[in-house]
Structure formats: structure tokens, C-alpha cells
């Protein structure tokens, strides 16, 4: 049996002010899985995600990405890990800062040593995957919010990651942009972790869901099974929109 692409073992974390965000998280995700990370505000979801590529240093427990220990103190290891785990933040403007879309997408690969025709091919291929190639020479701030989010995804895909992490990917999108992004994400051959409060989006894109609540994992099962458990959802302040019913 293959080893998991992500293995989190007894991960605990407290902020400098003493606020304990994680209390011992254990989670394994296999290559190609699509997993929704659900939970109420303050559950520790963002804190957990920021451990995956060393933004937060692992103080207690361990994280392995493709059998490589995430060690925030080792710069060479951290560089390798950050090429394997790509995080798309909730606000695309946190990731887009160059004069043009193409330059934004080129930034990561360029800093990894990719140059010339190989760099241009990487940029074009990444933008094509998200349907934004024709906007390569546009300034990012001239794009719609949904378009900027797709470019933010392209900046991460350009690094050829093994794991794509998306923080609230459907937030602030109109229905058409939401659908377009879902189609793009379905087309990607990649391990996907999606942090979201949008339970129908989780059901649409992820066959497995994990609920993080109070800094620990309280549920890990097929998405439709979790979303069909009204008592579980209510207990952890998760709600389906009116009219949605996953009870079969």
C-alpha cells in the first residue's frame, strides 16, 4: 500500500499569547484524494493549513509531505516542501503583486531557477489550465474578483505542486464564477484540500470531508455521509443552505 502524500501526527500548536489552536491532530491523505476541511470559525483550520508548508513551525507532533518531514528550520527542506504544497489564499490580492498576470505566474518558477522558453511554457500551461491565458499581459487589478482567484490558482499550479490547498475558494464569487472554478478544479489531476464553509461546494468537489472543531478532528468520512448527519453538523456550527438535504 502506498504511503500517504500527507501524514499529520499528533500536531498541537499554541500562539505566543497562549491561545491553543490545535490539540493533537492526526490526519492522512492519499495521493489524488480530494478532501474538504470543514469546521466552525476558530476551529483551527487556517492554523492547520499554515503548518503544511512551514508558514507555522511545527512545535509539537510531525507533518510529512510525500515522506519528507516538514522542518521550518531547514531552509533547503522548506524550499522543497513549499514547491510540493501550494496554498491558494482566500483573498487573491494576497498573492498577486506583479505588474501583469504573466509575471505573477512566472514569479515562483523563476525563483526556483526556471528560465527562458521553459519558463514561458510553464506560465502559458498554468494559465491555460485555469482558462486565463488570454489575460497574460493584463494587470491583475483590471480583472474581476473571480478572474483574479483563477490567476492565483495558476500561480500555485506553476510550481507543479503535489498538493493544492484552497482556502474558501468559493467565497465572494458570483454563481457563474463559482461554477467555472469548480469545473477547473475538477479538471486538475492533483491532491486537493479545500477549506470551506460552503458545504454544497464541498459535496460537489470532495468525496471525503474532515471536520476540525476545537482544535481536534471530530469526524472523517465520505462527504455525503457527514453532510447527511444533521446532529453532527449542528453540534459543530455547520449549516446547509435552505433546501439542501443530503439525507438519503
Summarize pLDDT for 42-52 with one digit per residue, the tens: 889 999 999 99
- pLDDT exceeds cutoff 90 at 242: no
Structural contact between residues 8 and 27, judged by C-beta atoms closer than 8 angstroms: yes
Q: Where is average pLDDT lowest: 75-84, 97-106, 126-135? A: 75-84
Q: Which three cell numbers stand for residue 77?
A: 527542506
Count other C-beta atoms under 10 Å from residue 155's C-beta.
Answer: 26
pLDDT band for 29, please (50, 70, 90 cuts): very high
Q: Which three cell numbers stand for residue 68?
A: 519528507
pLDDT of residue 199: 95
pLDDT band for 86, please (50, 70, 90 cuts): very high
Rounded Cα distance between 161 and 49, Å, is 15
- pLDDT exceeds cutoff 70 at 85: yes
- pTM to 2 decimals? 0.93
Rounded Cα distance between 247 and 103, Å, is 47
pLDDT of residue 140: 96
- pLDDT exceeds cutoff 60 at 201: yes
- pLDDT exceeds cutoff 70 at 247: no
pLDDT band for 245, please (50, 70, 90 cuts): confident
pLDDT of residue 36: 98
How many helices (H) does the chain have, and how many strands (E)? 9, 10
- pLDDT exceeds cutoff 80 at 243: no
Alpha helices in the chain (DSSP H): 45-49, 75-84, 101-111, 116-129, 145-157, 175-187, 199-205, 223-227, 230-235
In this structure, CATH architecture of domain 33-54+79-235: 3-Layer(aba) Sandwich (3.40)
**Residues in contact with 49: Cβ distance below 8 Å, sequence separation at least 6, in sequence order:** 37, 87, 165, 167, 193, 195
Task: Give percent above pLDDT 90 in the chain.
Answer: 85
Domain residue spans of the chain: 33-54+79-235
- pLDDT exceeds cutoff 60 at 69: yes
pLDDT band for 2, please (50, 70, 90 cuts): low
Dmax over CA atoms of the chain, in Å, equals 56
Q: Which of 52, 57, 63, 48 is nearest to 16 (CA)?
A: 57
Amino acid at each position: 500500500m502506498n504511503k500517504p502524500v500527507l501524514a499529520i501526527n499528533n500536531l498541537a500548536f499554541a500562539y505566543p499569547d497562549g491561545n491553543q489552536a490545535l490539540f493533537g491532530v492526526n490526519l492522512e491523505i492519499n495521493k489524488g484524494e480530494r478532501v474538504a476541511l470543514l469546521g466552525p470559525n476558530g476551529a483551527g483550520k487556517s492554523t492547520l493549513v499554515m503548518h503544511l508548508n512551514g508558514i507555522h513551525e511545527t512545535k509539537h507532533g510531525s507533518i510529512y509531505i510525500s515522506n519528507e518531514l516538514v522542518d521550518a528550520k531547514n531552509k533547503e527542506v522548506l524550499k522543497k516542501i513549499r514547491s510540493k504544497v501550494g496554498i491558494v489564499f482566500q483573498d487573491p490580492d494576497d498573492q498577486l503583486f506583479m505588474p501583469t498576470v504573466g509575471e505573477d505566474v512566472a514569479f515562483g518558477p523563476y525563483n526556483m531557477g526556471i528560465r527562458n522558453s521553459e519558463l514561458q511554457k510553464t506560465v502559458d500551461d498554468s494559465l491555460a489550465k485555469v482558462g486565463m491565458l488570454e489575460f497574460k499581459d493584463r494587470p491583475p487589478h483590471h480583472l474581476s474578483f473571480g478572474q483574479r482567484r483563477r490567476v492565483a490558482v495558476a500561480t500555485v499550479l506553476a510550481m507543479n505542486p503535489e498538493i493544492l490547498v484552497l482556502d474558501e475558494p468559493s467565497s465572494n464569487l458570483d454563481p457563474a464564477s463559482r461554477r467555472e472554478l469548480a469545473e477547473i478544479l475538477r479538471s486538475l489531476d492533483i491532491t486537493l484540500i479545500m477549506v470551506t464553509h460552503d458545504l454544497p461546494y464541498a459535496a460537489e468537489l470532495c468525496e471525503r470531508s474532515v471536520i476540525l472543531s476545537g482544535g481536534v478532528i471530530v469526524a472523517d468520512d465520505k462527504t455525503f455521509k457527514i453532510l447527511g448527519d444533521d446532529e453532527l453538523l449542528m453540534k459543530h456550527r455547520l449549516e446547509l443552505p435552505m433546501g439542501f438535504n443530503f439525507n438519503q
